[in-house]
Amino acid sequence: MTIATGSRHDLSYILESVYGTTPSTPAFTPIRHTGTTVGLSKDAIESEELREDRQIAHFRHGNKNVSGDINIELSYGSFDDLIQAVMCGTWATDILKAGTTRRSFTIERHHEDITRWLRATGCHFNTMSLSVAPNSMVTGSFGVIGKDFTIATSAIVGATYGAESTTAPFDSFTGTISEGGSGIAVVTALELSIDNGMEAIYVVGDDTTLEPSIAKSTITGSLSVYLENTSLIEKFVNETGSSIQFVLTDAAGNDYTFDLPNVKYNSGNPEVGGPGAVTASLDFVALYDSGEDTNLKITRTAA
C-alpha cells in the first residue's frame, strides 16, 4: 500500500481567462512551497424534522468552500505573479503598487506517489504574509479563496509544467530596515500582512461561489525592537505618522524593496519579563500615500 508523502508533492498554477475555468492545454507554473492546506470543505445542512426515536432523518452537503494557505520561503522571482495578484496591481518597470485588477487561477496539487491530481479552480489570492526574524529564512504564506475542487487520476490533456526557479531564499542577515527615513538596527522581528477581505458569494441553484467580493486593501504589520530610546513609542502616543522601508537581499545580490510610505502605529508598549533586554512591540497600519499613490510599493532589482 502506497501512502502519499510530502516529499513527493508538487504545486502549480495557471492564470484563468474565464473565472473558474482552466485553460485548455494549460502551461502550469510551479509554486515553491513548504506546505499547503488548499482544499475543499462544505457546509452541512441538517434536517430539523422531529422524530419520536430522536434520530436525524436527513442530511445534505451545503455550499462548497475552497480555501487554504500556501506556505513559502520567499525567494527572488519565484512568486512575482502571486504577489501581483494579491496586490491587485501590475508590475511596471519592476515596480508594483496596490491596484484594482482581479485575477483568478487554477491551482493544481499533484501527489506523485499515489498518482492523483487535486485541482482548485477560480482561485483568488486573498492574503499574503511575510515574517522576517533573526537567524532564519524569510517565510510567508498566501491565502486562497476559490470556486470549485476536483480530483483526477491523470494530468490534463496537453498540460505542460515549467521548471521551478532556483534562486536562494532570502534570509534575515542580508538586508536593511529604515524607519522614518533613518536606518534602524535594533529590530528583532518584522511582520507584514496584506488582506483583501474577499468573501464567497452564493446564490440559489449553485453550491459554488460567484466571483468573491473584495473589500479594502488592508496592510498591517508589526515591528519588535530592543528599547534603546522611546522615539517609536512616542510616535504611537502622539499619533505621529511615519514610514517603513525594508530591503531583502539574497546571496546573489537580487533584492526586493518594500516601501510603506505612510504608516501609523496603533500600539507600543515596552515588555519587561525579567532582567534581560527590554523589547517593545509596535503594531502598524499602512495608509494611502498621495506621493507614491499607494499604501505599499514593492521594487524588484535583479543582480
Q: What gap in Å lies between CA 93 and CA 78, rounded to an integer?
A: 17
DSSP string, 191-211: EEEEE---EEE--TT-SS-EE
27 forms beta bridges with: 160
Query: Is pLDDT of 185 > 80?
Result: no
Q: What gap in Å lies between CA 180 and CA 262, rounded to an integer?
A: 9
pLDDT of 227 reads 85
pLDDT of 186 reads 81
pLDDT tens digits, 46-73: 999 999 999 999 999 999 999 999 999 9
Instruction: Identify the band that residue 278 occupies on the pLDDT scale cut at 50, 70 and 90.
Output: confident
**pTM listed for this prediction:** 0.94
Question: What phi, psi does 71 have (nearest 5°)?
Answer: -90, 140
Minimal CA–CA distance to 192: which of 154, 232, 139?
A: 139
Gyration radius from the chain CA atoms: 22
Instruction: Identify the band that residue 271 occupies on the pLDDT scale cut at 50, 70 and 90.
Output: confident
Q: Alpha helices, DSSP H only, in the chain?
A: 80-87, 231-237
DSSP 18: B
pLDDT of 211 reads 94
Single-letter amino acid code for the residue at 200 = A
Exposed / middle / buried, residue 103 (Cβ in 10 Å: 0-12, 13-18, 19+):
middle
Query: Is pLDDT of 154 > 90?
Result: yes
pLDDT tens digits, 223-239: 988 888 888 889 999 99
